[in-house]
Structure 1
């Protein structure tokens, strides 16, 4: 079974480039307060962290105004998603998800022995709610919604989110991956849904808007019974001592988080505008990247970017995803587009 699992892709040319715009990392380093918290925590690295990230859970609970029983923290939102799938799916069950969406989903689903049911995005590169609902069968135990979606950056309107949640059977978990929620242009906040629907689960991360991709920290918000089952499926000490210290400091430093978000919003606006000036239209992005739907010319654009010393993430035959936040990297991507001499046409 393991041999049949899809593999997580790598960006091309990483050893040749100056700028890395392929991994959706923050281009802004952690704030001095986060760095100091990590130094202080490192002095206690000989000790185990708290069993379930208790201090971070308390911080999250206070600001989000949900009880600690609703919150599970761990080594990134992706790890928490895998624990949720392990707790509620498995052999003989199905998990519905959009495609193209985050490429880790079919891997995680396969690891727990469930069957992935991919559903194509619509013509606007957005989740097709009707098609996803139609894909639900008696074997479906979960449906994953990446909002904003990776790699297209598109957001589901609030009305469509509500329609999806209210149409899904009560025994099917609706798993909202909100890794890019802080950058969204629309009303992307599944927390209110958790309060109303016991089958809704929200996943968020400290890797993007908090600039801590290297530490691996995330959290999940769910009905207490669901949260308790996910904790049971997760190994103890899942959040490292350093990750908890860094996440707590980043959570407290709201000014720095706003700075990261502002840098991203400025960068994606600039890149989308300049691409449009060159004839390449891109979907509105609610994330820290821009999606270039260039279809069969994907490999050509990726090669041109590497030639300009910037890495991007290419999805063969579909498009290229470019992380924003570094103006030099954005300009290198634009130089790559210019080097193609209009030898492309945007794909719908």
Structure 2
């Protein structure tokens, strides 16, 4: 705990002593060593899907805790390979991506068909693979933002993946097509025995207003999560909320004043708990993204995000750029620092 409190600095009490008076912690299906038995066994998930979830939860430093630490590296497509790997060109070679996940003690590695397929026979039995099946490519000119399928569920299964991941840009003009595509893909993935993870991201220029960006508002991201669990995503990936009140500020959709008073507050743990609540009170695990790399502050930012996620009732972190855009030893240290938050039994639900 000493290293964690050192990184939190003068914000120790703010993050570690906060008591959530909005959504009571006893309502949350919090991660635990018995999460599959208590939450997923009564569901419609097949035995092969339960086996795949078990593989995720039983690997790496967090094995047996119910928490997840995942290394995602799909930025070679999402942000261009040159821009993503310029800080550390080693990661142009897919093997180094998988090596970082293994050496970093991660539960799984998430990447593209090409990355994982290129080293599948060497590593698919050594660390769980999560294949990201759709991407936003940045070579069309002028740039457009759409998630396009890059392969099939059968391909993911054939290269040994235990899970597939996908993104839906909720709020975008393309979101309805993406919703239909990914709902069908997830249904087939479950038939094949693989788990499903949905990147529930918002994208619409109208979500920015008066110099405030509501793409990370708790109410909008919470509803995106709720749409994600509706198509039976087993795990939801979401950005950490940075503000709230998007529905009221943008004057659209439907809201209730109690969303902002009884169900949430301006504290980041309470806003994250609202995200968890929209994942069926945590029945589908919430993993928050680690965000872009800012250099020297990466370690502190990653630990703060992990503390917020854990105390809110989340299931872990999926952190990429903060880990791979630096030397491997530093990336391993950052991933281990995140995992240490979830291994620390003194850090409990708020």
Q: TM-score, normalised by structure 2?
A: 0.32
- In terms of Rg, which structure is larger? 1
- Which fold has the larger relative contact order, with Cα–Cα distance below 8 Å and residues 6 or more apart in sequence? 1
Higher helix share goes to which structure? 2
